[in-house]
């Protein structure tokens, strides 16, 4: 059965949308009619979407990019907080504090920065969809990824807290928590670590970006109306709770 969506007339922002999961999400939203803006620290040109250089840790970047959208569309219907940085795969004792600052900065504080600027626009409209990209690491706590795990757990808790703050509106805030997905982010860890991750997966493979995008698209659609503050696994059966 093929699934179709109608995002015509919707304006969407996908952070970190130039590569990997974000790119698949941005392409999917555009395919079904959304006007998609990619905010990425290192943008790549695309045909279907518009890209702007935005570092999600920099409030001034966000403000400038948002003012362009407000001037043109006057609305933001969909926000996918996807920009992420995995950082080093190292024991916590060996971790450089500058590295954990960056990990928390991009994955957690970046989600705060972008959401806080966009939320008033959604609140004024009385509706919207926010999808935050967490990780299985945030639920399980993965060794050698302590800061990333903590940042991701923060994204999960933020999703739950924020969803309750906007329950008096049609704004829905949810989180997706992928296990290892086949992107540059995971491939940078090297073949040995990736093989171990595949070995730990009940489905014995990495996920595909299109599989994550399919879930995100549904969460961004009107079909998902009774879910808010929820965390959706995308882990090939690995997540246990």
Ligand X SMILES: NC(=O)c1ccc[n+]([C@@H]2O[C@H](COP(=O)([O-])OP(=O)(O)OC[C@H]3O[C@@H](n4cnc5c(N)ncnc54)[C@H](O)[C@@H]3O)[C@@H](O)[C@H]2O)c1
Q: Which is nearer to ligand X, 89 or 123 (CB)?
A: 89
User: Cβ of residue 98: shortest distance to ligand X, in angstroms?
Assistant: 14
DSSP string, 155-209: HHHHHHHHHHHTTTTEEEEEEEEE--BSSHHHHTT-HHHHHHHHHT-TT-SPBPH
User: Cβ of residue 35: shortest distance to ligand X, in angstroms?
Assistant: 20
Q: Which is nearer to ligand X, 105 or 169 (CB)?
A: 105
Q: Which is nearer to ligand X, 61 or 77 (CB)?
A: 61
SS3 of residue 14 by DSSP: strand
For the chain, give the longest Cα–Cα distance.
Answer: 50
User: Cβ of residue 34: shortest distance to ligand X, in angstroms?
Assistant: 19
Q: Single out the catalytic residue among 85, 89, 148, 241.
A: 148
Spatial neighbors of 89 by CB under 8 A, at least 6 apart, are: 144, 145, 189, 193
> How buried is 2 (Cβ within 10 angstroms: 0-12 exposed, 13-18 middle, 19+ buried)?
exposed
User: Cβ of residue 205: shortest distance to ligand X, in angstroms?
Assistant: 12
Residues making contact with ligand X (CB under 6 A)? 15-16, 18-22, 40-42, 54-57, 82-85, 106-107, 110, 133, 135, 178, 180-181, 183-186
Q: Which is nearer to ligand X, 6 or 96 (CB)?
A: 96
Active site residue 148: yes
Q: Report phi then psi at 92, rounded to 5.
A: -60, -35
**Residues annotated as part of the active site:** 148
């Amino acid at each position: 059965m093929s699934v179709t969506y109608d995002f015509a007339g919707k304006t969407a922002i996908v952070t970190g949308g130039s590569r990997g999961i974000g790119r698949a999400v941005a392409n999917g939203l555009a395919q079904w009619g959304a006007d998609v803006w990619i905010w990425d620290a290192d943008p790549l040109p695309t045909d279907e979407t518009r890209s702007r250089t935005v570092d999600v840790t920099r409030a001034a970047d966000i403000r400038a990019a948002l003012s362009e959208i407000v001037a043109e569309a006057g609305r933001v219907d969909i926000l996918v907080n996807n920009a992420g940085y995995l950082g080093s795969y190292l024991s916590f004792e060996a971790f450089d504090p500058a590295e954990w600052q960056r990990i928390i900065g991009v994955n957690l504080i970046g989600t705060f920065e972008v959401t806080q600027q966009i939320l008033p626009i959604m609140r004024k409209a009385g509706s919207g969809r926010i999808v935050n990209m967490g990780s299985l690491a945030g639920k399980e706590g993965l060794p050698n990824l302590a800061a990333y795990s903590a940042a991701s757990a923060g994204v999960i808790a933020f999703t739950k807290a924020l969803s309750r703050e906007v329950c008096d509106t049609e704004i829905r805030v949810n989180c997706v928590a992928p296990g290892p997905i086949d992107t540059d982010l995971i491939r940078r860890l090297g073949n040995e670590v990736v093989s171990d991750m595949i070995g730990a997966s009940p489905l014995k493979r990495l996920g595909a970006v299109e599989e994550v995008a399919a879930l995100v698209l549904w969460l961004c659609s009107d079909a998902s109306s009774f879910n808010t503050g929820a965390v959706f696994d995308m882990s090939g059966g690995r997540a246990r709770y």
